[in-house]
Every structure is written in structure tokens, then in C-alpha cells.
Copies of this chain bind each other. A is one copy, B any other.
Amino acid sequence: MEINGVLIEDTFAEAFPCWASMAVITAVTKTWAHKIAMEATGFATSCIGCAAEAGIDYYVPTDRTPDWRPGYAIMVCNPSKKKLKEQMVERIAECVLTAPTAAVFNGIPSAEEKLPVKLHFFGDGYEHQVKVGDRDCWAIPIMGGEFICEEEYGVVKGVAGGNFLVMSDNQMSALMGAEAAVEAIDELEGAITSFPGGIVASGSKVGSHKYKFMNASTNDEYCPSLKDKVPATKIPPGINYVFEIVIDGLDLHCVKKAMMEGIEAACGVPGVKRISAGNYGGKLGPFQIQLHDLFKI
């Protein structure tokens, strides 16, 4: 199968269940809401080494936020619901409560299950309850005015590890293809790409052949520079650079849609030669997303 002359391999991405929660961060301007959301979702690329996977999902214009101010919806993910709760508390407490003009609201009000994020104790008794639209909130006096927040955040069983690989003979084409893919995914609601600029340059395998104390090491089968040294190389002839887009989403549909839009955008970039996806032969993740199926709709 080809899109715009780019070969789409007949393979699948293997994805996993993962708890996901969302918050809508608002501020006096869109610019400020973005600064705060960036800080709150930083240092959160992969649960292998970070305490969470997180990213900005989408801009929420004034007519869709509870307080009629501009906002950004952020998504935070973790396989452990307990750790996800801790991360929601810490990221909101340290990066939003502290930020100028910020307020924060439940980002998945429709979710039945909710994570408690009890910030009002910070008010030391000076806090009071307020209604913002139909949301039950707390107003906490702070130096810069009042901080408004909800204390329950919807949590759902989402999907992590949706992915595809952008390949080229040259590095810049692969990079720009991946960048175009991330831009396309940014337009969608319900899916994030948690790595810097949304792109992964360095895939890992479980464990290490040489260093037994390492629980992850470079995925040598996917390193183009090793293709002549690694007999089991997965790198096709003519490919010298591979970038991966890894997607977390609220559900399988969101992840599939992000993969589809991302792949189409990557295929629009000159020099992109091939699209593939990462999997573990179907042994680990319960979700197998066939690349060719994405385009049968």
C-alpha cells in the first residue's frame, strides 16, 4: 500500500491500556495558558523513566471553558491509577496553582470515575467554595489574587503506545515528515504525543544484551547505522533514518485517528520513503492497530 508514493508497510502498532486523566488550564490570555500547560506537562515523555506521560492535547477557546477564559486541555497518563492521581496532584499543585492568573478544571467531566485532587487545604481555612458555570470549585486566596480549581478530575482507561515510524534515506526528510505528522495530530482532540516536539529519535528494547544491569537499551534492530552489524535488523534497504511518533489517547478510536492523520501528513513531506510501526510480535499489548486498516474507512 502506498500513500502519495510512500510505502506503508503491512504491519501493526502494538498498544497498551493506560489510565488517562485531563485538566483544562485557563488563564487571562491564551499565551499565559500555554506557558502554564507547557510547564505542567514537561519532563513526561515515557513512563519508563518519567513519573507520567503528559502533553497538551488541544486549545479550548473561551466559549468552551467553564470560566469563559482561554484554556488548554492537558492529558496525563500512567499505567497505575495511583501514580496517575499523585501526578495530577503534584503537577497541578506545583505548576498551575503557582502560576499567574491560572485556574484549572476537570478535563473529562463525562467520565464516571474521578481522581480526587484536594488543593483547597492550601488555603489554610481562608478558601471558600464557588460555582463556576456548573462546576463546583474552590477559590483559594493567593498573592496574585485567587486561584480557582475543581477537585475531581475524570479518569478513563485510555490507550498508550500507539505509534508509527517515519523513514527516509536522509535525516532531514524523516525529521520534517515526523514534524508534519505531529502538527496534524496536534489538531485532534483526545490524543497526545508526549516526547519533545512529539518525536522519538531513540527507541528502546527491554533489557540489554551486554549490560545486564540495564532494563532498557537501544533498539539495535531499528538503528539504521547498525544494519550491517545486526543480523535481525528491521531496517529496509535505502533507509538511513527513522523517527517514531508515539501516541497516547483517551480511547482506541482517538489513537487510530491520530495515527491515520499523522501518517497522511508525513507522506506529504518530500523525501519520506516509508512508514512502518513498532510492535512486539503481538506478545505484549492487547491492541494491534494494523496500518492498512487505518485507511479502509
- Chain A residues with CB under 8 Å of chain B are 28-32, 35-36, 38-46, 48-50, 61-63, 67-70, 90-91, 93-102, 121-126, 140-147, 165, 169-176, 178-180, 183-184, 187, 195-197, 199-204, 208-211, 213-214, 216-220, 222-226, 229, 241-244, 261, 264-265, 268-271
How many Å lie between the Cα of A126 and that of B264 in the bound state? 30
Q: Is the CB of B46 within 8 A of A175?
A: no
Q: Is the CB of A39 within 8 A of B28?
A: no
A35 to chain B: closest residue by CB: B197
Task: Pick the contact of A225: B62, B141, B226 (CB < 8 A).
Answer: B141
Q: Is the CB of A145 within 8 A of B201?
A: yes
Number of copies: 4
A195 to chain B: closest residue by CB: B98
Q: Is the CB of B179 within 8 A of A142?
A: no
How many Å lie between the Cα of A214 and that of B30 in the bound state? 33
How many Å lie between the Cα of A100 and that of B168 in the bound state? 14
How many Å lie between the Cα of A96 and that of B197 in the bound state? 11
Contacts A36-B196, A243-B100 given; indicate if A28 touches B269 (C-beta within 8 A). yes
How many Å lie between the Cα of A225 and that of B49 in the bound state? 41
Q: Is the CB of A202 within 8 A of B98?
A: yes
Determine how close the nearest CB of chain B comes to the CB of A220; give it in whole angstroms. 6
Contacts A101-B201, A176-B176, A202-B147 given; indicate if A220 touches B183 (C-beta within 8 A). no
How many Å lie between the Cα of A63 and that of B265 in the bound state? 9
**13 examples of A-B residue contacts, CB within 8 angstroms:** A28-B175, A31-B31, A40-B43, A43-B94, A45-B95, A100-B197, A100-B201, A143-B201, A143-B222, A144-B171, A144-B174, A144-B201, A144-B242
